[in-house]
Homo-oligomer: A and B are copies of this chain.
Amino acid sequence: MTDLSEKKPSRIQTRNRRLILDAALDVFSRDGYGGATLDAIASGAGLSKPNLLYYFDSKKEIYVTLLSQLLETWLDPLVELDPDGDPVEELLGYVRLKLDMALELPAESRLFAGEMLQGAPRLAEYLKDDLKPLFDTKCKAIQDWIDAGRLAHVDPAHLIFTIWSTTQHYADFGAQVSVLLENSDPAQRAHKHLEQLFRRLLQPVNH
């Protein structure tokens, strides 16, 4: 018997855990936690179910592993927001990054959204301990920009909500978006639209 949670993983372990997590992302993001089955994940990974359970102790462990790996990359762009940079350009850069993430990692976005829809039962402590402090810090930075007259008067918290919602919409509601847009290149139009939107919102009024 081996304890997979300790020591450096073998080549096989690295490969199979990767296969499992990739398949699990597909299944969980499509069917939700409750709708996902180990059989579907195992089959997606090309492994037998007991073999899958050799690498992860339970369904929940796979899900939680997936979520916590996601959260690292998810927070990153907000961390990068630089209080010493140009306010409008910093925020537009953040919008651009978030939109690119939504377009390139839609499954990740949907996994996160699905967890939120369920009331974030497995993310409660993450929200309070990690996201909240970061959120407050960035809200304050934005408020400082406003106070310095370098940014239009906006509610910092709701500005961030607006950035999150408008960008993630292209992943989470992708099914709707693709039906309604048909032809026109969604990615480029979305980029142009959001740039315009936030530029108009954020540009301080000269006086």
Q: Point out residues on A near B: beta carbons under 8 Å.
A: 29-36, 110, 113-114, 116-120, 123-124, 127-128, 131-132, 135, 152, 154-155, 157-159, 161-162, 164-166, 168-170, 172-173, 175-177, 179-181, 184, 189-190, 192-194, 196-197, 200-201
Contact = CB atoms under 8 A, between A and B. Distances in A.
Q: Indicate how many identical chains form the complex.
A: 2
**Does more than half of chain A's interface fall in helix, strand or loop, or is it mixed?**
helix
Contacts of A189: 155, 157-158
Contacts of A124: 179
16 contacts: A29-B117, A30-B118, A32-B117, A32-B118, A117-B117, A127-B175, A132-B180, A135-B180, A154-B193, A158-B190, A158-B193, A162-B194, A164-B173, A197-B197, A197-B201, A200-B201
A180 to B, nearest CB: 5
A107 to B, nearest CB: 10
A117 B173 CA distance: 6
A31 B34 contact: yes
Nearest to A136: B180
A159 B93 CA distance: 20
Contacts of A118: 30-32, 35
A187 to B, nearest CB: 11
B176 A127 contact: yes
A155 B154 CA distance: 23
Given A34-B31, A159-B193, A177-B161, A117 B113 contact: yes
Contact of A34 (B29, B36, B169): B36
A162 B155 contact: no
Given A154-B193, A180-B131, A193-B162, A172 B32 contact: no
A120 B162 contact: no
A163 to B, nearest CB: 10
Nearest to A121: B175
